[in-house]
Amino acid sequence: MSALPEQEHHISLDEYIELEESSGIKHEYFQGEAFAMTGASENHNLLVMDVGRHIGNQLAGKSCRPYPSDFRLKIEAMNLYTYPDLSVICGETQKAVKPRETFLNPTVLIEVLSESTEAYDRGKKSEFYRSIPSLQEYLLIAQDRVHVEQYRRQGAAWLFTEYSALEDAVVLTSIGCTLSLAAIYERVQFDAE
């Protein structure tokens, strides 16, 4: 659901916080600019809910917790404030000083790709996410076909794996979870071409 569709204007961090509190609309904030977040399709919402449910069920009783897209992330190295579709934090949640309800230490980040944001999610945003010291895994999930891309930290490098069959399962080793593609795509309907 993240996007950089329309530039608003150059604003301070305090103005961004005020905008977030008063507008009722989520915005990404990057280098003094706020960008309104776009709405999401039915497939997008089904995937986010089902992936979140499957991860949440597997994490019950463990020290890792999943969060939906209403929990803001600050990427300190880039001074980017954004709202990942799904986040998993293990251990104590580290929060930014300002705004307080902004976390800093995800272990896993998940984005469901949209036509309008796919290039950004694959490009700059992926690069920004991979700069987070605590991040161990990052998933990109297609909503127009069965396809999941996984980036897994291996020392100083990132291992890339892709999955495109309903029989496949993504193993999130950092949090001890497995996502069956058949399960997460069970209710998704693809447009006939």
pLDDT digits (tens, 9 = 90+) for 161-192: 999 999 999 999 999 999 999 999 999 999 87
Lowest mean pLDDT among 74-78, 83-87, 159-163, 181-185: 74-78
Q: What beta strand segments (E) does the chain contain?
A: 7-10, 27-30, 33-36, 64-67, 72-75, 80-82, 86-90, 102-103, 108-112, 137-141, 148-154, 157-163, 169-172, 177-180
* Sheet strands side by side (includes 64-67): 64-67, 86-90, 108-112, 137-141, 148-154, 157-163
Per-residue confidence band for 154, with pLDDT thresholds at 50, 70 and 90: very high
Average pLDDT over residues 14-23: 89
Q: What domain range is 117 assigned to?
A: 41-73+86-184
What was the pLDDT predicted at 58? 98
Compare 99 and 187 and report the one with higher pLDDT.
187
Q: Is residue 4 part of a domain?
A: no
Q: What is the CATH number of the domain that holds 114?
A: 3.90.1570.10
Q: Is residue 108 part of a domain?
A: yes
Residue 108, pLDDT > 80, answer: yes
Dist CA 32 CA 127 (whole Å):
19
Domains identified in the chain, total number: 1
Q: Is residue 46 part of a domain?
A: yes
What was the pLDDT predicted at 25? 85
Per-residue confidence band for 37, with pLDDT thresholds at 50, 70 and 90: confident
What was the pLDDT predicted at 193? 58
Q: How far is CA 17 from CA 14, 52, 72, 183, in A?
A: 5, 27, 11, 38
Per-residue confidence band for 1, with pLDDT thresholds at 50, 70 and 90: very low
Q: Is residue 1 part of a domain?
A: no
Q: Is residue 190 part of a domain?
A: no
Dist CA 160 CA 115 (whole Å):
22
153 three-state secondary structure? strand
Dist CA 164 CA 182 (whole Å):
10
| Count of CB atoms situated within 10 Å of the CB of 188 | 18
Q: Is residue 113 part of a domain?
A: yes
**Measured distance between the N- and C-terminal CA atoms of the chain, rounded to whole angstroms:** 24
Sign of CA dihedral 89, 113, 35, 137: positive
What was the pLDDT predicted at 191? 83
Share of the chain above pLDDT 70, in %: 94
Write out pLDDT tens, residues 45-57.
999 999 999 999 9
Residue 29, pLDDT > 50, answer: yes
Q: Is residue 13 part of a domain?
A: no
Residue 9, pLDDT > 70, answer: no
Nearest in space to 37 (alpha carbons), one of 143, 114, 119: 114
Q: Is residue 78 part of a domain?
A: no
What was the pLDDT predicted at 98? 85
**Which token pair is 72?**
């803001």
